[in-house]
C-alpha cells in the first residue's frame, strides 16, 4: 500500500451532519428531534443504538418505530464522507440500510441496483453515480467500520431483502 493511500485511510473519519440536512425529515420532525437533544446525525445514531432506545424515542415523539428506523439508517449511511446526506437516501432506496451492509455489498451489484432504481423511478441512466463513486462508498464504509467497532454495525430494521 502506498504511503499516500495509507495517509488517506488514517485521515478518514465519519462525518456528522446537522439533523436538518437529513433527507425526508419535515420541519416538525426536525424540531421534535432537536427538542430531544438530537441535533446531528451522529447524535441520532448514538441515541438509537438499541431497539429499546429506538422504541423509547418513537414513543417520545409519538411516531411509528418505522420512521425512527428509517432516520437511523439514513444517519448511519450519512456518516460515510463520500455518501453524506446527498446519497444516503439513494442507498436506502437501493436496499442498503447500514454502513455494515454497504461495506459487505459487492460494488458491481450495488451499482447495478442503483442503476435499476434510477431507470425505474426517473427513466434516467445518466443520473446514476459512477462505479468509481460506488467503490469509494464501499471502501470508506470498510474504513469507518474498522475504526468504529459497534457504531453503525447494525441493521435498523428498514428496507427489504428480496
Q: For residue range 38-54, what is the model confidence (pLDDT) as tens digits?
A: 999 999 999 999 999 99
Using DSSP's 3-state secondary structure scheme, residue 6 falls into helix
Q: For residue range 21-37, what is the model confidence (pLDDT) as tens digits?
A: 999 999 999 999 999 99
How many residues appear in the chain? Answer: 162
Inter-helix orientation angle 107-122/131-147, to 10°: 120
Q: What is the pLDDT of residue 127?
A: 87
Q: Please indicate, yes or no, whether the overall pTM of this predicted structure exceeds 0.75.
A: yes
Q: For residue range 61-97, what is the model confidence (pLDDT) as tens digits?
A: 999 999 999 999 999 999 999 999 999 999 999 999 9
Q: Has residue 10 got a pLDDT over 50?
A: no
Give the pLDDT mean for 98-121.
Answer: 95
Range of weakest confidence among 16-20, 59-63, 145-149: 145-149
CB neighbour list of residue 15: distance below 8 Å, 6 or more residues apart = 41, 78, 79, 80, 81, 84
CA distances to 8, 50, 82, 86, 98 from 114, rounded to whole Å, are: 27, 29, 16, 14, 16
CB 100, CB 150: distance < 8 Å: no
- Residues 91 and 113: their CA atoms lie apart, in Å, by 9
pLDDT category, 136, cuts 50, 70, 90? very high
Amino acid at each position: 500500500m502506498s504511503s499516500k493511500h495509507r495517509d488517506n485511510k488514517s485521515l478518514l473519519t465519519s462525518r456528522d451532519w446537522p439533523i436538518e440536512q437529513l433527507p425526508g425529515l419535515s420541519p416538525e420532525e426536525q424540531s421534535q428531534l432537536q427538542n430531544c437533544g438530537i441535533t446531528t446525525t451522529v447524535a441520532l445514531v448514538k441515541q438509537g443504538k438499541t431497539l429499546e432506545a429506538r422504541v423509547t424515542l418513537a414513543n417520545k415523539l409519538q411516531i411509528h418505530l418505522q420512521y425512527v428506523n428509517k432516520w437511523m439508517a439514513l444517519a448511519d449511511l450519512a456518516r460515510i464522507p463520500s455518501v453524506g446526506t446527498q446519497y444516503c437516501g439513494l442507498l436506502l432506496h437501493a436496499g442498503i440500510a447500514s454502513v455494515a451492509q454497504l461495506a459487505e455489498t459487492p460494488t458491481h451489484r450495488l451499482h447495478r441496483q442503483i442503476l435499476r432504481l434510477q431507470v425505474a423511478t426517473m427513466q434516467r441512466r445518466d443520473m446514476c453515480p459512477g462505479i468509481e463513486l460506488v467503490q469509494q462508498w464501499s471502501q470508506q464504509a470498510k474504513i469507518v467500520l474498522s475504526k468504529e467497532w459497534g457504531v453503525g454495525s447494525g441493521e435498523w430494521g428498514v428496507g427489504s431483502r428480496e
